[in-house]
Amino acid sequence: MAGAIELLYVDDDVVVADKPSGLSVHRGWDDDDDVAMFRVRDAIGARVHPVHRLDRGTSGALLFARTAAAAATLGRAFADGHVDKRYLALVRGAPPATVVVDHPVPETEGGARVPAVTRLRLVARSTVERCSLVEARPETGRFHQIRRHLKHLSHPIVGDVNYGKGDLNRLFRTRYGLHRLALHAHLLAFDHPATGRRLVVRAPLPADFAAALAALGLPVAVDDEGAPKATP
């Protein structure tokens, strides 16, 4: 069972939750009653509208609207690329310091390939294993975009059972206790749908992810601009 869901920001129009790895955003084909949308609804005692999604295995900042009007405004902001989404990913190998991946991927599961762009920045390389921590900033919102783009670069995410490497995933489960996809949405920035004020919400690294990074010599701090950096 996925861990508890925490609320990072709440007002009359929006809620930002810290979704744990292993929890779906909303009901899928299996009609699961334990999903992030229902947990947030129960926590605030009111209906919420999901305006974007995170993969089941991804943890971190997840935005909900509390009104249909706010949902429509935020939906347009996501579609127009006005929302800043930043992720931390533990990947195989040593990617370049910065790279822009411009490679088409399916927009939805089973859909046609469409343009997709992700900006990647190396945070630090491990001296213990042949792996690295990167920050990903997707400029589009496609199905499994970050995961597919990192696979395209031959730097798959640790714990990715769809696009990763089984031997690598087993090593990190056994040696570092990391039984999850090593992808975390650590920052979400958007214009408030009612006031227009820019909101920046950060989601702390989950304990299991942070412990694995520390064991790899990759403890992470975040600077005043929200950019992650390796700590000594």
Residues belonging to the active site:
55
Cα-based distances in Å from 22 to 6, 34, 164: 14, 11, 17
Distance CA 123, CA 74 (A): 30
Specify which residues 6 forms β-bridges with: 18
Q: What angle do CA 60, 65, 46 make, to 5 degrees?
A: 100
Where does 76-204 show beta strands of DSSP type E?
A: 84-92, 98-102, 105-106, 113-114, 117-125, 131-138, 183-191, 198-202
